[in-house]
Amino acid sequence: MSVEIDTYMSAVGFIKTDTGRYENQQYNVWDLLPRNVLKDADGDIYIIDAEIGKKK
């Protein structure tokens, strides 16, 4: 699942900075671990409990 999370976040414009942490020019996202991501039968990923903060 971690590779799928990395691939998804990259596709939506985020760079991985550490395990479960991503950023782009506007936001930091953390706690994005497999326990906080669901995947449906079609392979779509749903983030359910990540933390998001706007960069200053």
Residue pair 13/27 in contact (Cβ under 8 Å)? The answer is no
pLDDT digits (tens, 9 = 90+) for 25-37: 999 999 999 999 9
Give the model's confidence band at 1: pLDDT under 50 very low, under 70 low, under 90 confident, else very high: confident
Residue 43 belongs to domain spanning: 2-54
Q: How many domains does the chain divide into?
A: 1
The percent of residues above 90 in pLDDT, for the chain, comes to 89
pLDDT digits (tens, 9 = 90+) for 10-24: 999 999 999 999 999
Average pLDDT, rounded, for the chain: 94
Amino acid at 47: I
Query: Three-class SS of residue 55?
Result: coil
Q: What is the pLDDT of residue 56?
A: 87
